[in-house]
């Protein structure tokens, strides 16, 4: 059973706080979490492009949804980078 991803909310979007929360236990950010966050953000691109072209405030929620997904993607990528630095002294990202 997949576990619920609550780390972003618990860390309030802070990469450092997320890393510290993870390092308290035996945590990891699998590469597919970063991939899923990126794919989720990209899934909004067509709708967001339409909103931006029309330049309407009605699309403000779509813009905020995209921003939230972008922030999560960066959050998971940042923690992944910190974990790679800890393990190998360098990142692949």
Does residue 12 or residue 92 have the better pLDDT? 12
The parent domain of residue 44 ranges over 7-84
- Quick check: is 2 in a domain? no
- Quick check: is 73 in a domain? yes
Tell me the pLDDT tens digit for each residue of 25-55. Answer: 667 788 888 899 999 999 999 989 988 888 7
- Quick check: is 37 in a domain? yes
Which ranges of the chain does DSSP label H, i.e. alpha helix? 7-10, 15-24, 31-42, 45-54, 60-88
- Quick check: is 26 in a domain? yes
- Quick check: is 89 in a domain? no
- Quick check: is 22 in a domain? yes
- Quick check: is 34 in a domain? yes
**What per-residue confidence (pLDDT) applies to 93?**
66
Longest Cα–Cα distance of the chain, Å, equals: 47
Number of domains forming the structure of the chain: 1
| Angstrom distance (rounded) from CA 78 to CA 61 | 25
- Quick check: is 38 in a domain? yes
């Amino acid at each position: 059973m997949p576990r619920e991803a609550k780390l972003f909310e618990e860390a309030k979007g802070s990469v450092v706080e997320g890393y510290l929360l993870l390092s308290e236990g035996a945590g990891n950010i699998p590469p597919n979490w970063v991939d899923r966050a990126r794919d989720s953000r990209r899934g909004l691109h067509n709708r967001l492009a339409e909103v931006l072209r029309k330049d309407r405030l009605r699309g403000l929620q779509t813009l905020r949804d995209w921003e939230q997904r972008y922030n999560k993607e960066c959050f998971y990528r940042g923690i992944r980078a910190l974990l790679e630095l800890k393990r190998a002294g360098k990142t692949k990202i």
